[in-house]
A and B are shown apart, each in its own frame.
Chain A
Amino acid sequence: MSDPVSALNNAHYGAGIAEVSELGAVGMITLRGDINTRGVQKGAVDVAGVKMPAPLHCVTDGSAGIAWMSPDELLIMCNYADVAKKLETLRGKTAKVHALAVNVSDARAVFELRGPHAREVLAKVAPVDLARDQFKSGMFRRTRIAQVPAAFWMPEEDVIRMVCFRSVAQYVFDVLSVASQPGSEVGYI
């Protein structure tokens, strides 16, 4: 079988105040339905292998994770290779409830910002309060990066992961690279 190729093929920019990298192919399943019902939650938790997140939060453990996208949508993350099997399992588990699960892995790109200035770089391009006491590890925020929609969370302090549409991957990479160019520290956050 042909190998999956991510949008930017693990592009990396390390010359600036934070490291920008594209993380390659990541498995993602969108699950829509009434996510407050037990049937939908159980399916998501069983397939993802992590606990159910609170609204506006995500729970991640390595490559596994569930993110709260909206009042009726969850994003399940896993290894790219496991998506087909997990999707089948999830559809089976949610067969009796009104829910829809779709493989969106190839429609997305995932980036990572790493370094002590990661918050600062992101704060330049997203309309979100990224102060250390406001945006904390475990929160999940859907917003915009400059001109395009994106969502991000912090698996740990000084590491920000970001999901965007594959079609705008190059734009997001360029924006983050410019925002992290050498000497561009703001020193506010």
Chain B
Amino acid sequence: MLIVSCPNCGITAEETEFHAHGEAHITRHAVGSSDDQMETYLFMRKNPKGVHFERWRHQYGCGKWFHMARCTMTLEVFGTYSAQTYSPPDDLLARIDARRPGWREAT
């Protein structure tokens, strides 16, 4: 079971209070994009064994969206961060580097 901290309201709770909504930081190709880009946006998802960035929502709590970095193998939660960003914060990436050396090459 994941223990998740919501960066919006500050509650730390177990995962049943939250809901996962898939991979984060996907570029939304829209009008004017090629078929390949559209396919990538709609269907192409990473399925890593290891570090994964996801969108989550505090479903039963404050109702806000946020991002989470976790390990799909050990279920370790590296951290959560604001939904209003295009990429993970540097301090979180540094924390993951320390916990999982070489993860960037693996994904």
**Which of B16, B17, B62 meets A69, CB within 8 Å?**
B62
**Interface 1/0 per residue, B1-45 and A, CB below 8 Å:** 000000011110110110000000000000000000000000000
Given A142-B60, A142-B62, A144-B60: A71 and B14 interface contact (C-beta under 8 Å) = no
**CB-CB nearest 5 A-B residue pairs:** A70-B62, A144-B60, A142-B61, A149-B60, A127-B14
Alpha-carbon gap, A51 to B63, bound state (A): 24
Q: Is A143 positioned at the interface, with any CB of B under 8 Å from its CB? A: yes
Checking A55, A70, A143 against B13 with a beta-carbon cut-off of 8 angstroms, the contacting residue is: A143
In angstroms, Cα B63 to Cα A149, docked, is 11
Known: A127-B16, A143-B17, A144-B16. A56 touches B60 (CB 8 A): no
**Cβ–Cβ < 8 Å partners of A127 in chain B:** 13-14, 16-17
Cβ distance A182 to chain B, nearest Cβ, rounded Å: 28
Q: Does any Cβ of B come within 8 Å of A64's Cβ?
A: no
Q: Secondary structure of the A side of the interface?
A: strand
Residues B61 and A128 in contact, CB atoms below 8 Å apart: no
Interface residues of B (CB under 8 A from A): 8-11, 13-14, 16-17, 59-64
Residue from B8, B9, B60 with most neighbouring chain A CB atoms (10 Å): B60
CB distance B13 to A128 under 8 Å? yes
With both beta carbons as reference points, the residue of chain A lying nearest to B14 in the complex is identified as: A127
* A150 nearest CB neighbor, chain B only: B60
Contacts of A143 in B (CB 8 A): 13, 17, 60-61
Decide: A70 near B63, CB < 8 A? Known: A127-B16, A144-B16, A144-B17. Answer: yes
Within 8 A of B (CB), among A108-157: 127-128, 141-144, 149
